[in-house]
Amino acid sequence: MPELAATLDALAEDATSRCTVCGRCAEVCPTAREVGIDTSDPQHLVRGLIALTADGAGGGEAARWVAACDSSGQCSAVCPEQINVRQWVSIARLRAQEATRDEQSRKQEHARRFRSMSHAVRLLASMQMPSDALTRILAPAERRQAEVLFYTGCNVLKTSHIVFNVMDVLEALGVDFDVVGGPSHCCGVYQFQAGDTDAYDKIGGRTFRRFGQSGASKVLTWCPTCTKNFNEIEVDRAPPSFGLDHVSVFLVSRLDELRAQFVDQPPRRAVIHEHQGITGTRESVRVLMDAIPNLTVVDLPQDSGFSYACGGVAARYVERERDIHRNMAEGAAAVGADLLITTYHSCHRALAGAEASYPFRVANFTDVLAEALGRGQRTDFYKLYKSGGEMSEAVDAARRHLESNGVRVSEDTIAALTDEMFAETGLAGSPHPFREAFAKLAEK
């Protein structure tokens, strides 16, 4: 296995040597414009990117450019030399971090973010999942024996119905699979973003190696961040012993078998909230939804090129994200949609609460797919929280699941969770039903 530093050096060298400094990548970058960088001389920005890649210093406005990047991938899509510019920008950002921030502060940053994510995931997953399901997901990857590993990543466990939906669909297809994820199998995004490649390797790199140790022939990713990181760091480092696909892409490859099992569905109109940036997922979700009986997908003009998913780095651009979500919901209502379909879990968290004020259901594409197979019907607890509906059902379930997972909540943790969920960009009802219902649970 090549050293990570050597891989990144080689990737950066390849990009800088092939770049013709045409400037197209900087010209189309949505975040450069978002932070007010002057892109009227895009070649100047690219020359800055090259300087930054060399030693992390200089680069002028390019330093701001790489810091602003939300990994939309618009740059890579237009590069005439087929350079993965998004990957190059992330390496330049690493170099800049190494040159301008001390190691201790970078370590503190990723440790804080990782701790906070782990805590929220642990709590929300424990509120929504029985302990046998959670224990199964968290068990070490290298001990699995199935042909296919469905890798959830961490954050989708906050919307556990999505995980169960995918499992339902894989079971319907008769796939020999196991499910693995949680913070102990993190993809290392926090460490990489903070510019700590050693820590990344011990976490994200290790997770990837554990997949190989299991002997699985295929790993199905769910999270777009994990998908991007593994494809742009690990796959370029050494070809893995297994195939790597996003779940949606894999399901399209089994579409005929899915079609054969579809059951009658009511006539519905739907719009899909889309993102570009993760190869194949937008197209695959559309193919899957077009195949659902009696579902008419209405095309809605939308800002799908801004980031590869809602939340994450894109959440820094609060107003832009707000516009995206508001336009999505208003557009869905205007075309008389019965369904607003989300692709990723972070988008689902952002849009699920729209049901509090719009006349359509918000569902993940996995909800729609599993239901069309006569399965699914999983309770979307996160949506109940955000929309303020049927909170007693959510509390009853949480009480049982928290006990079975050996977790106690306190009033402080409920207050922190409420802040976290309702401070996300996106659409939501009032936070009070959630806080009040769960605060009573915390008192017991």
User: Can you name the residues that pair with 151 across neighbouring β-strands?
Assistant: 180, 221
Quote the least distance from Cβ 29 to ligand SF4, whole Å.
3
Using CB under 6 A as the binding rule, whether residue 21 contacts ligand SF4 is answered as yes
Q: How far apart are CA 304 and CA 314, in angstroms?
A: 12
User: Does residue 117 belong to the site contacting ligand SF4 (CB under 6 A)?
Assistant: no
Nearest distance, CB of residue 314 and ligand SF4, angstroms = 9
Residue 75 or 162: which CB sits closer to ligand SF4? 75
12, 25, 175, 251: residue in contact with ligand SF4 (rule CB under 6 A): 25
For position 85 contacting ligand SF4 by CB under 6 A, the verdict is yes
Tokens of 256: 């005929």
Which range in 70-78, 112-120, 183-191, 342-350 contacts ligand SF4 by CB under 6 A?
A: 70-78
In the range 282-311, which residues lie near ligand SF4 by CB under 6 A?
none
Question: Residues 395, 400, 404, CA angle at the centre, nearest 5°?
Answer: 140
372 in contact with ligand SF4 (CB under 6 A): no
**Residue 321 lies near ligand SF4 (rule: CB under 6 A):** no
Those residues whose C-beta lies under 8 Å from the C-beta of residue 33, and which sit 6 or more positions away, are 39
Question: Given the complex with ligand SF4, which of 24 and 286 has the nearer CB atom?
Answer: 24
Residue 243 and residue 223: Cα distance in Å, rounded? 16
Amino acid at 378: R
Q: Is 22 in the site for ligand SF4 (CB under 6 A)?
A: yes
- Is the CB of residue 335 less than 8 Å from the CB of residue 305? no
Site membership for ligand SF4, residue 244 (CB under 6 A): no
Residue 72 sits in the site that holds ligand SF4 (CB under 6 A)? yes
Segment contacting ligand SF4 by CB under 6 A, of 13-21, 145-153, 208-216, 362-370:
13-21
Q: Which is nearer to ligand SF4, 68 or 362 (CB)?
A: 68
Asked if 24 touches ligand SF4 (CB under 6 A), the answer is: yes
Question: Are 67 and 93 within 8 A, CB to CB?
Answer: yes
41 binding ligand SF4? (CB under 6 A): no
The yes or no reply on residue 233 touching ligand SF4 (CB under 6 A) is: no
Q: Which residues contact 88 (CB under 8 A, 6 or more apart)?
A: 11, 12, 15, 16, 49, 53
Place of tokens 């929504």: 128
- If phi > 0 it is left, if psi is from -120 to 50 it is alpha, else beta; for residue 74 that is alpha
**C-alpha–C-alpha distance, residues 22 and 262, integer Å:** 49
Among 48, 56, 59, 73, binds ligand SF4 (CB under 6 A): 73
Helix (H, G, I), strand (E, B) or coil at 79: coil
The answer to the question of residue 75 lying near ligand SF4 (CB under 6 A) is: yes
Query: Which is it for the CA torsion 214, 226, 67, 80, positive or negative?
Result: positive
- Residues of this chain that interact with ligand SF4 (CB under 6 A) are 19-25, 29, 31-32, 46, 69-75, 79-81, 83, 85-86, 89
